[in-house]
Amino acid sequence: MQDLIHNPNETFYKEYLPASEPIQNPGFLNSSELSFFLSFFKKKFPNHGFGLANKLFFILCPFDFPELKEILAPKLSSIFGEFYIYSDINLDPVPQSSDFFIYQTKIFMPHTDSITHIPGYLHYKDVILPLAVDKDKHTSTYVCDQRYYGRASHLMHGKKCNKTTKYSNIFRKHTYDYYGVEGVQKNHKNQVSTDWLNTNIGNVIPHSFFRGLSIKRMFKWIPGSIIIQDPSLIHGPTNYKLHGANWKLGISIRIFKKNIKWQPNTIFSRYKPSCNLLKTKILPSLDK
């Protein structure tokens, strides 16, 4: 069972980003904007789509499309003021994917998405825009009490596999406090209950991934709403398949702020980039 730690000398950002509570606001996109985003995704996917393992499907960099930027940029500025996105500020030879439409047909593990290696730019917030869910079924995302102030990481305690990623760490071997995850429940008293796991996750991912974690908030997947959370917060999707849905679609954006004091260790990865996104034209149906 191997961990994957891309930068053992990672600079942690705790002192640069005071912890704040995650929030969700309805009506970030109005109904005509929402329909526009859905038809945009359908129309553009054949020429701009990427797939991962035939389970996750992406259109990258929504801000590269002027018709989307025109809608998103002023709305996000009104919340965050001056902000930057990864594609504007990175100098990475093989960039990480950071902002995207994501059509998911799989349930993935608890994780964080932080990008920590860009001097002068601090990853300030994660933004999630739910757009649709199969058959309009109920689903949600969860946010844990636990925080991790290093780069994006996949929490997969106890998993025996050799999965690698281009940028994210993978914690498999030790309990999460070993890696610096804060707030890990050690006595198992307050950690995620078997009931919660059975109702929200089922058997799609091992329950050992949740060892020492506890749930702070659940956010309903409400199309048109905006979810804003600190990148340090461990989070993930609940299993929409338990509720009869086979897919969901949303947009994920990482918001950066200029901060000249942020001078991290700049290693993108000590490993050769592996993986992962492949051009694809085949998208499972968006019909509900």
Q: 155 CB contacts (<8 Å, ≥6 apart)?
A: 109, 110, 111, 171, 176, 181, 209, 213, 234
Which residue number, 99 or 113, has a Cβ lying nearer to Fe ion? 113
Which residue number, 53 or 282, has a Cβ lying nearer to Fe ion? 53
C-alpha atoms less than 13 angstroms from C-alpha of 103 in its C-beta half-sphere: 23
3-state secondary structure of 142: strand
Which residue number, 113 or 230, has a Cβ lying nearer to Fe ion? 113
Give the residue from 95, 141, 98, 134 showing the smallest Cα distance to 251: 98
Question: Which residues contact Fe ion (rule: CB under 5 A)?
Answer: 113
Which residue number, 98 or 269, has a Cβ lying nearer to Fe ion? 98
| Nearest distance from C-beta of residue 113 to Fe ion, angstroms | 4
User: Do strands 169-171 and 153-155 pair parallel, antiparallel, or not at all (unpaired)?
Assistant: parallel
Q: 128 CB contacts (<8 Å, ≥6 apart)?
A: 141, 226, 227, 229, 250, 251, 252
Which residue number, 113 or 134, has a Cβ lying nearer to Fe ion? 113
Nearest residue to Fe ion, by Cβ distance, number only: 113
| Nearest distance from C-beta of residue 70 to Fe ion, angstroms | 26
In one-letter notation, the amino acid at residue 166 is: K
Spatial distance between the Cα atoms of 121 and 85, rounded to a whole number of angstroms? 10
| Nearest distance from C-beta of residue 187 to Fe ion, angstroms | 28
| Nearest distance from C-beta of residue 228 to Fe ion, angstroms | 13
| Nearest distance from C-beta of residue 47 to Fe ion, angstroms | 26
3-state secondary structure of 100: strand
Query: What single DSSP character describes residue 95?
Result: P
Which residue number, 1 or 275, has a Cβ lying nearer to Fe ion? 275
| Nearest distance from C-beta of residue 227 to Fe ion, angstroms | 10
Which residue number, 67 or 176, has a Cβ lying nearer to Fe ion? 176
Q: Is 278 exposed, middle or buried (0-12, 13-18, 19+ CB in 10 A)?
A: exposed
| Nearest distance from C-beta of residue 253 to Fe ion, angstroms | 11
- Residues of 177-214 as b/e, b for ≥16 C-beta within 10 angstroms? eebbbebbbeeeeebbeeebbeebbeeebbbebbbbbb
Which residue number, 117 or 120, has a Cβ lying nearer to Fe ion? 117
> Tokens 């929200």 identify what position?
200
| Nearest distance from C-beta of residue 35 to Fe ion, angstroms | 25
Spatial distance between the Cα atoms of 65 and 101, rounded to a whole number of angstroms? 12
